[in-house]
Amino acid sequence: MKISEVPAEEFLLPGNAACHGCGSSMCLRTVLKALGKNTVLVVPASCTSVYQGMFPGSAIDVPVFNTVFAASASTASGIRASLEMKGIDATVVVWAGDGGTYDIGLQALSAAAERNEDMIYICYNNEMYSNTGVQRSGATPYGAWTTTTQGGKKEHRKDVAELMVSHEIPYVATASAGYLTDLYRKVRKAKRKSGFRYVEILTPCPPGWKFPASRTVEIGRLAVKSGMWILYEYEDGEFRLTGVSRAIAEGKREMADVEDYLLSQGRFSHLSRNDLEKIREHVRNRWMKIEKIVGGVHATPAEFYV
Amino acid sequence: MSSGVMVTGNQAAAFAARDSGVEVVAAYPITPSTPVIEEIARMVERGEMRSRLILTESEHSALAACIGASASGSRTFTATSSHGLAYMHELLHYATNARTPVVMAVANRAIGPGWNIWADLSDAMSQRDTGWMQLYCSSNQEIYDTILMAYRVAEDEGVLLPAMVCYDGFVLSHTAMPVKLGAEDFLGEYSSQWELNFDEPTTFGNILSPDYYMELRRDLFESHRRAIEVMRRTEKEFEEFTGRYTPLLAERYMLEDARTAIVATGAIASEVKIAVNRLRKDGNRVGLLRVKAFRPFPSGLIADALSEVERVVVIDRSVSPGTGGQLFSEVKSALYDSKTLPQVVSRIAGLGGRDVTFKAIEKAVDDVFRSEWVMEVVW
């Protein structure tokens, strides 16, 4: 689909307080266009709770309920229950960062998924606690600088999208700020389904990742092209790669070296050659695992069989 | 109206939630409030209660779901105790500031460690600053009546505050007493201030600067003041509807010519009535002021009720370490500006479910037994 086919109506209004080049607000704008006006957004403490603006104004033109950090999935469950009891047809959507999803909000997320609550949970993942000034989260990748991992994070990140797949919910998808039409299509698909749906978007953050604000889309694409972020869908028990990730797996496209992606960001500027190799190995292992899940149908570059 | 049935305090709470017409219940089990949820689950599954029941993974999530549902326009209910109430703490504040009139049953239990599951008011008392209205019941009938009335008060547009209806764990929660039900038409359908409007959307709870926050807090403070009058009015409305009077603020028992007043709340207050009867038989001019509403604290009413006595003995089933009994503190405060200043003494009793008998109360009240801490179980 072409970006010109995305509807023109805006639900994220100009004058919001997001940074230049903010991956999150760019994706929220696309997501809201995909959802339309009969949407309730539940927002926990996060960058969005700040950039939506200060009372008495708001930059989001659908009903929004701001809630506490740990409780977005449960607050949304209550809203969904109320709408159901009143016979009101609307989409309940959580829009949370990786902090409110991977860490403090994980318990409530898992429980809502297990109950198969009828909602879409969207995690915009900038791989750290951006709102409070760039501290590490469970989504922060190995080697990344944050204010609480100033020598580079020593642990690899966990993967909540994969965790959601293991909850066997109706729909799980990953997306990237680099590919907005892919994101739009996935959210439209999620909207048509019912039960618990999870979408996780990689949203690069210029101040946190330390790159010029004009390169957000480019970095969102490099993440996928280098294999560090994988685009996939898990739908009714079936797992498939999408977009550039699919092209890589099918051998139609060469995977870029992770160095291109990592060294474009100041947060990785101090990585040693050893760190780089560790990261390459991590990417390789993830792809081998993904290949097995997908069934090895697609041809792969020879280096994955080392 | 139906005739009485023998039900436990927890059952009374569950039937009250049903008869209040709640639309959404979100809850998590914890002793001794668990049976409230079990009874609701049974009624929902059998179609006797038209509610959506969300079985969350924690109490924090339970209250979050209630707040979400209430902010969307539904009447909501939950139940908890002790650690569960403590786990909800940040959301207790949230429900108040959000002006979501959630009603919650609290079967009061001690907080650990050690794992003490028995009656103790410390759980709710230590939440007294969260802005929730707090009502302490002394009988199962009172639990049923108070939950219904709590919705009327909470939903009043001059109040719009959440309310917890408290009752001693096991002593009331698990003991069966005769209760008259049948008040299901007392509350009408809930017409909420809050609704989701997709044509004119609003954002709820975004950043609020120092320029606005104080007004928000002042308004809810004034709402607590207004709640006292709304409670008086609601008591009358409920009495007209059911034919029985159940207080929301306080109850005076044999205070008219008393020289000594015992101030107590909850199940202990019931026991005090027996002690008062016996002390009176021995010629002591003693009476009981049972405090029912702890928040808002009806200072004027309490000072007025105690204006003629010489001595006040306040019994707390909780303690605030570093000062003392919370009821004691508030009563003393209320008496500060009164014309007559009676002697006010504190008694701490019944923590962690230690039994408080009328004999112990008699001993605690008379001049011989001076210790503040009533440790003995006197049979």
B318-370: pLDDT as tens digits = 999 999 999 999 999 999 988 889 999 999 999 999 999 999 999 888 765 56
Confidence of residue A295 (pLDDT cuts 50, 70, 90): low
Residue A297 clears pLDDT 50, i.e. is over it:
no
Mean pLDDT of the A63-73 span: 98
- What is the pTM assigned to this prediction? 0.96
**Under DSSP, is residue A80 helix (H, G, I), strand (E, B) or coil?**
helix
Across the interface, of B23, B198, B199, the residue whose CB is closest to A82 is: B23
Entry field: residues in chain A = 306
Cα–Cα distance, A176 to A164 (Å, whole number): 17
| CA trace torsion B225, B227, B228, B232 (10° rounding) | 160
Least confident piece of the model among A57-66, A281-290, B154-163: A281-290
B64 contacts A82? CB cut-off 8 A: no
Cα–Cα distance, B90 to B70 (Å, whole number): 17
Name the residue of chain A whose CA is nearest to B73's CA: A82
- Across-strand partners of B5? B179
Cα–Cα distance, B349 to B311 (Å, whole number): 19
How close does chain A come to B98, measured CA to CA in Å?
A: 10
CB B54 within 8 A of CB B24: yes
pLDDT at A1: 82
Question: In this structure, which amino acid lies at residue B334?
Answer: A
Triad B330, B336, B337: Cα angle to 5°: 125
Q: Tell me: the pLDDT tens digits for A10-41?
A: 999 999 999 999 999 999 999 999 999 999 99
A90 contacts B52? CB cut-off 8 A: no
pLDDT at B2: 56
Q: B5 exposed, middle or buried (CB, 10 Å; 0-12, 13-18, 19+)?
A: middle
Tokens of residue A271, six digits: 């990585």
Look at residues A50, A72, A100 and name the one whose alpha carbon lies nearest to residue B206.
A50
CB A209 within 8 A of CB A266: yes
Looking up tokens 């210029």 gives A206
Q: Which residues of A touch B61 (CB under 8 A)?
A: 71, 73-74, 77, 107-108, 111
pLDDT at A303: 38
Look at residues A176, A203, A146, A207 and name the one whose alpha carbon lies nearest to residue A19.
A207
pLDDT at A296: 52
Cα–Cα distance, A303 to A287 (Å, whole number): 11
Name the residue of chain B whose CA is nearest to A50's CA: B207
A106 Cβ under 8 Å from any chain B Cβ: no
CA–centroid distance for A71 within its chain? 18
Tokens of residue B160, six digits: 């719009």
Look at residues A143, A108, A130 and name the one whose alpha carbon lies nearest to residue A51.
A130
Tokens of residue B226, six digits: 């207004």
Q: Which residues of A touch B204 (CB under 8 A)?
A: 63-66
pLDDT at A4: 87
- Continuous segment of H or E residues that includes residue A93: strand A91-97
Which regions of chain B are under pLDDT 50?
1
Helix axes B89-97, B210-242, angle to 10 degrees: 90
Triad A98, A99, A104: Cα angle to 5°: 130
**Under DSSP, is residue A294 helix (H, G, I), strand (E, B) or coil?**
helix
CA–centroid distance for A126 within its chain? 8
Give buried/exposed letters for B72-111 (b at 16+ CB in 10 A, else e): bbbbbbbbbbbbbbbbbeebbbbbbebbbbbbbbbbbbbb
Least confident piece of the model among A3-7, A154-158, B86-90, B198-202: A3-7
Q: Which of B206, B212, B213, B216 to mutate to test the interface with A (most CBs of A within 10 A)?
A: B206
Tokens of residue A158, six digits: 């966990």
Tokens of residue B50, six digits: 């038209």
CB B133 within 8 A of CB B296: yes
The ipTM is 0.96
How close does chain A come to B226, measured CA to CA in Å?
A: 26
Average pLDDT in chain B: 96
Across the interface, of A38, A65, A115, the residue whose CB is closest to B198 is: A38
Give buried/exposed letters for A55-88 (b at 16+ CB in 10 A, else e): eeebbbbbbbbbbbbbbbbbbbbbbbbbbbbeee
Tokens of residue B339, six digits: 């014309």
Confidence of residue A292 (pLDDT cuts 50, 70, 90): confident
Residue A185 clears pLDDT 60, i.e. is over it:
yes
pLDDT at A301: 43
Q: Which of A16, A82, A94, A114 to mutate to test the interface with B (most CBs of B within 10 A)?
A: A82
Least confident piece of the model among A119-133, A207-221, B304-318, B363-377: B363-377
Three-class SS string for chain B? Answer: CCCEEEEEHHHHHHHHHHHCCCCEEEECCCCCCHHHHHHHHHHHHCCCCCCEEEECCCHHHHHHHHHHHHHCCCCEEEEECHHHHHHCHHHHHHHHHCCCCCEEEEEECCCCCCCCCCCCCHHHHCCCCCCCEEEECCCHHHHHHHHHHHHHHHHCCCCCCCEEEEEECCCCCCCEEEEECCCCCCCCCCCCCCCCCCCCCCEECCECCHHHHHHHHHHHHHHHHHHHHHHHHHHHHHHHHHCCCCCCCEEEECCCCCCEEEEECHHHHHHHHHHHHHHHHCCCCEEEEEECEEECCCHHHHHHHCCCCCEEEEEECCCECCCECHHHHHHHHHHCCCCCCCEEEEEEECHHHCCCCHHHHHHHHCCCCCCCEECCCCC
Look at residues B156, B128, B181, B138 and name the one whose alpha carbon lies nearest to residue B12.
B181
- Across-strand partners of B54? B26
Tokens of residue B168, six digits: 């001693």
Confidence of residue A289 (pLDDT cuts 50, 70, 90): confident
Q: Tell me: the pLDDT tens digits for B238-290?
A: 999 999 999 999 999 999 999 999 999 999 999 999 999 999 999 999 999 99
Triad A237, A239, A245: Cα angle to 5°: 165
Name, in order, each residue with C-beta under 8 angstroms of B211's C-beta and a sequence gap of 6 or more: none
Name the residue of chain B whose CA is nearest to A72's CA: B64
